[in-house]
Amino acid sequence: MKINFKKKIAFVLLITFQISFAQKKQENIGTEEVNVVKAYTPTISDAFKVMETPSIEEEGTIKKKVIKYTIFSFPVASTFTPSKGKAESVEKEQQPNLFKNYATFGTGNYGILNAELFVNQNLNATDYVSGMIRHLSSQGGIKNVELSDKFYDTAVDLAYGFHRKHLSWNVDLGYQNQIYNWYGLPVDITLLSGKNVQQSYNNLYLRSKIEFNDAVLKEASLKFNHFSDAFGSSENRIYAKPSFEFDISDKAIKMNLIVDYLGGSFKKEYSNSNPMQYGFTNLGIAPSFELHEQGWIVNIGTSLFYELDAKNNNNQFLIYPKINALYHVVDDLMLFYAGAEGNLKQNTYSDFVNENPFLSPTLNILPTDKQYDFFAGLKGKIVNNVSYNIRGSYINERNKALFKSNDYTENSSNESFAFGNSMQVVYDDMKTVSFYGELKAAFSKNVTFGINGTFSSYANKNQEEPWNLPGIKLNSTIDFNINKKWYAGVNVFYIGDRKDLKINNDIVYIVAPTYVPVTLNSYFDANAHLGFKYSDRLTAFLRTNNITNKGYEKWLNYPVQGFQVVLGANYKFDF
């Protein structure tokens, strides 16, 4: 029920007025008789609700008038042009353009020539071919050297490979030629005047590697090397290593199989004309698995080899440990690691020459039995951009290879390498205690620094000294980008004292003082480079070696070239 608010207020005011009027004293309102005929019964009438859509009760309805209209459109000239919206741009660092090919050329004093060419071409989305030619040579000129000291090193390599969904494969074929001279004479020997003291090494190799995805056979590698020299020496090596991975009792087992064959010969021995031959076949298996226990990561394995000595019929079975453990002491700030490892190392004429090219072609080739290497150390980060590594080790080896100078006589019938100007390989059972320390720092994205050192102590069983092994090795590098165009770097290293022994076997010289080992003085060498990036394609460089200009002896009676300067350029390109 709805009650009119205004009527209600009027009614209240009227009643109030009457009551107030009736309260007036001394006023007589009189008397009147009232007859009640029927009792009053109030009722409430039905409320009338207005419909939202009222009905029309008229007899007829009005029809809507139909309106017909048309639109007459015509173009209106307007000079208003709305501006298009544009997203705010974000500056991105420009990515360097990576070229597939490059050519390098440099030249300097001592007749130094350094050239290199590398080309790579994609045949399709998965296959590629590449090739490389390298050359480094010097025309010599070392002070106080009577014989020619020039050298040449040239190599050619061709490769083919592909990357597919389930496997990748590559193969490369190469050839390398090295030419050196035995210029390190102990004394001025006139008998060598007019003699050719040159040695030439040739290495032909074929290498291949295949990798599988989601297969038990993870990868397999195969290498073949044929090495020879100008004195009739020849060596062949075949090395195959398939690697497997499979699960046993929820453990991932890794296993390497090794087949290592080596066979070679030298035309004669050093002191006589008897030919020398050697041949070894090493068959090995190396299983391993990894454990994760209470913060430790432990890799446990072993290596088992069966060595066949084809020339001496001295076959043997060898077992080596292969254990590595890692523990996070303080997250990545300090990690403790330790382990024990061993291996059967196949020594080769080719590997010896790469380390020391002044060897006589009359070597005794034997494998090295590295029985164990116990080691422990700490590594981690001092701060985010500074890392360190400290390691100590104790190594026991049988038949460790050592370089030692050859004894000689001043006889005109000697070969050109038999006048005390060549070196040999001798073997000894040795124990080595060494400590290694390394520090690396990236002061910024433009400056990096590194320094490392190895301190070693040797105990020999048969040889008088650990020939040509230094007790101290130090190395340090720093590289920095000066700006977007210029960059530079410095590398310095220090090698401690070493011992060697060279004996003149002529009767008149065989006296006690002759047998005293000779100490090769320690040496310090500093090298630097400076580069200028003219463009993304062209870079010029300046390299300096042996800045101190010291003719130190790396090997006995073999002084090195003094201060060297090489100026060159590198050009990158695409086909």
Cα–Cα distance between 504 and 309 in angstroms, integer?
Answer: 34
pLDDT band of 41, cuts 50, 70, 90: low
Average pLDDT of the residues in 68-78: 61
Give the pLDDT score at 24. 46
pLDDT band of 70, cuts 50, 70, 90: low
pLDDT band of 384, cuts 50, 70, 90: confident
pLDDT band of 334, cuts 50, 70, 90: very high
Q: Please give the DSSP secondary-structure letter assigned to residue 509.
A: G
Q: How far is CA 140 from CA 136, 359, 437, 547, 550, in A?
A: 12, 19, 37, 17, 16
Residue 505 confidence (pLDDT) above 90: no
pTM of the model: 0.82
pLDDT digit string (tens) for 418-430? 999 999 999 999 9
Average pLDDT of the residues in 119-131: 95
Average pLDDT of the residues in 385-413: 95
pLDDT digit string (tens) for 540-571? 999 999 999 999 999 999 999 999 999 999 99
Instruction: Yes or no: say if 246 and 253 are a contact pair by the CB < 8 Å rule.
Output: yes
pLDDT digit string (tens) for 126-183? 999 999 999 999 999 998 888 999 999 999 999 999 999 889 999 999 999 999 999 9
Establish how many alpha carbons lie within 13 A of residue 349's alpha carbon, considering only the half-sphere containing its beta carbon.
Answer: 29
Percent of residues, the chain, with pLDDT higher than 90: 71
**Spatial CB neighbours of 114, under 8 Å, sequence gap ≥ 6:** 104, 105, 106, 107, 135, 136, 566, 568
Closest residue by Cα to residue 559 from 315, 358, 328: 358
Give the pLDDT score at 173. 98
Cα–Cα distance between 326 and 300 in angstroms, integer?
Answer: 12
Q: What pairs with residue 380 in β-bridges?
A: 388
Cα–Cα distance between 229 and 298 in angstroms, integer?
Answer: 46
